[in-house]
Amino acid sequence: SGNATITVLGKEYPTDDFTNLPNSIANLTSRKLHLQPSHPIGILRSLIESRLKDLGFTSYNDFKPVVSTYENFDALGFPEDHPGRSKTDTYYINEKTLLRTHTSAHESECFQTCETPGYLISADVYRRDTIDRTHYPAFHQMEGARVWSRTEHGDNLAKVIQEDLESIPDSGIIVSDPDPPFHEGNPRQPTMSELETELIGKHLKKTIELLMGHVFHQAREAAIKAGSTDPDLFSPIKARWIEAYFPWTSPSWEIEIWWKGEWLEMCGCGVVKHEVLSGAGVGDKIGWAFGIGLERTAMILFGVPDIRLFWSEDERFLSQFKPNTVSTFKPYSKYPGTFRDVAFWCDMAKEVHINDLMEVVRSIGGDLVENVSLIDEFVHPKTKQKSQCYRINYQSMDRSLTNAEINDLQDAVVSSLSTQFPI
């Protein structure tokens, strides 16, 4: 079908061999949860925005989710063979057009056009992924960036960054920062001095600590108010920095926060590469960028146990939240779940990617699928054929499912799997 098209947000796009965007996912682009003042994602967005506003950050919240492969990958220096580019990981509209997989897709444009030295971008992003309590094919991120101009500050540049650094309020959290010396794997850029790199890294870390402190202090208050007696809630909030790698920043880091007995990775960040800034026409600037996942943070802040709830249109969920207010979600009911297993022989010549299998299950079960996990794998000793068994948990957020209904879904899953992945 040479002239097939797909419509996203009212616009038609030609399809091709790359097209793998189901309508069910395309339809999520109109939800814009981050713009709803009474939705946890919207509340969290404005909570962070209001904390950073007087530090000179402008917010952009209306970027469209359809972007080019250039914006999402090339402008950021993703290598040709980066797994993020793969059809198994990304929703393609066609070979050159996709649903953004991160808000970094808009960094270049913002570096080019944003008039304040700092900006925040909040938006919905899309990734093909596994199905469980913390993963959903659509979610939200907030990007932050801050730059300084060599043209504007000349020889004063380091002094200006130092002053800006000193003006960031204290976060009130305890941070351990090994501050690893910049090494081969995560080097300082040749276009920046050691002092500039150090000051920008510190400015970045202090800003993120401020933001995290703001969010986690509120999360802690809400948890205490809801009756939690976890002793960690009554001692200072702890964070630590670890090294990370992103194609468009160097050096790069990630912050981890101690919450309910484990270290949670909260936010990737780094010093923006010169190539990205010069590609955006502002090669005289230096600065940093970060990206934070809003669902992950909102699950902690509002005590939401399952990521699917954010997409619920049930009043029992939506009516619990008020603008500019952090409150703990009260489960209205735990509807029972049921599992069904599906086992099949794998085509050894053409292995099925787990995300493709997930997409089949999702396209049939939608939000009724809570979790899919590989529970058994078996290689036949003689034929060397491999079989896999997946367990699908069916559970609704809003109602009880009948056995007949689940059987119908499971039959549809099984028959779709056998037509899409024949052996």
Region 189-228 residues binding ligand PHE, contact defined as CB under 6 A: none
**Site for ligand PHE (CB under 6 A): which residue of 219, 269, 307, 417?**
269
Taking alpha carbons only, the member of 150, 169, 183, 164 closest to residue 252 is 183
Q: Closest CB to ligand PHE among 104 and 197? A: 104
Q: Closest CB to ligand PHE among 19 and 189? A: 189
Q: Closest CB to ligand PHE among 136 and 394? A: 136
Q: Scanning the structure block, which residue is given the tokens 């986690």?
A: 216
# of chain residues touching ligand PHE (CB under 6 A): 11
**Site for ligand PHE (CB under 6 A): which residue of 42, 137, 213, 268?**
268
Pair 189, 274: CB distance under 8 Å: yes
- DSSP codes, 304-328: ---GGGGG---HHHHTT--TT----
In terms of C-beta distances under 8 Å and separation of at least 24 residues, what long-range contacts does 6-15 make, across chains too?
A: 6/93, 8/65, 8/66, 8/93, 8/99, 9/64, 9/65, 9/66, 11/66, 13/66, 13/93, 13/94, 13/97, 14/94, 15/93, 15/94
Q: Scanning the structure block, which residue is given the tokens 């790698």?
A: 245
Q: Is the dihedral angle over the CA atoms 128, 131, 132, 138 positive or is it negative? A: positive
Closest distance of CB 289 from ligand PHE, Å: 4
290 counts as binding ligand PHE under rule CB under 6 A: yes
Q: Closest CB to ligand PHE among 42 and 270? A: 270
Taking alpha carbons only, the member of 278, 307, 367, 321 closest to residue 42 is 321
The stretch among 20-28, 161-169, 198-206, 267-275 that binds ligand PHE (CB under 6 A) is: 267-275
**Site for ligand PHE (CB under 6 A): which residue of 63, 126, 216, 246?**
246
Residue 78 DSSP symbol: -
Closest distance of CB 27 from ligand PHE, Å: 23
Region 76-105 residues binding ligand PHE, contact defined as CB under 6 A: 102, 104
The stretch among 185-193, 265-273, 319-327, 361-369 that binds ligand PHE (CB under 6 A) is: 265-273
Is the preceding omega at residue 231 within 30 degrees of 0, hence cis? no
**Site for ligand PHE (CB under 6 A): which residue of 40, 65, 270, 303?**
270
Q: Closest CB to ligand PHE among 39 and 102? A: 102
Q: Closest CB to ligand PHE among 241 and 246? A: 246
Region 139-158 residues binding ligand PHE, contact defined as CB under 6 A: 143
Closest distance of CB 184 from ligand PHE, Å: 19
> Hey, which residues does 138 pair with through a beta bridge?
126
Residue 85 DSSP symbol: G
Beta-carbon contacts of residue 79 (< 8 Å; ≥ 6 apart): 247
Helices vs. strands in the chain: H and E counts, helices first: 12, 16
CA angle at 107 for the pair 103 and 113, rounded to the nearest 5°: 130
Q: Closest CB to ligand PHE among 58 and 338? A: 58
Closest distance of CB 197 from ligand PHE, Å: 15
Closest distance of CB 248 from ligand PHE, Å: 7
User: What is the arrangement of strands in the sheet containing 249-259, beginning at the earlier edge strand?
Assistant: 57-60, 118-126, 138-149, 285-293, 262-272, 249-259, 238-246, 174-176
Q: Closest CB to ligand PHE among 219 and 271? A: 271
Q: Closest CB to ligand PHE among 241 and 290? A: 290
Q: Is the dihedral angle over the CA atoms 412, 413, 415, 420 positive or is it negative? A: positive
Closest distance of CB 246 from ligand PHE, Å: 4
Closest distance of CB 177 from ligand PHE, Å: 17
First to last CA, the chain: 26
Question: Closest residue to ligand PHE, Cβ-based?
Answer: 291
118 counts as binding ligand PHE under rule CB under 6 A: no
Q: Closest CB to ligand PHE among 145 and 300? A: 145
Closest distance of CB 232 from ligand PHE, Å: 26
Q: Which residues bind ligand PHE (CB under 6 A)?
A: 102, 104, 143, 246, 249, 268-270, 289-291
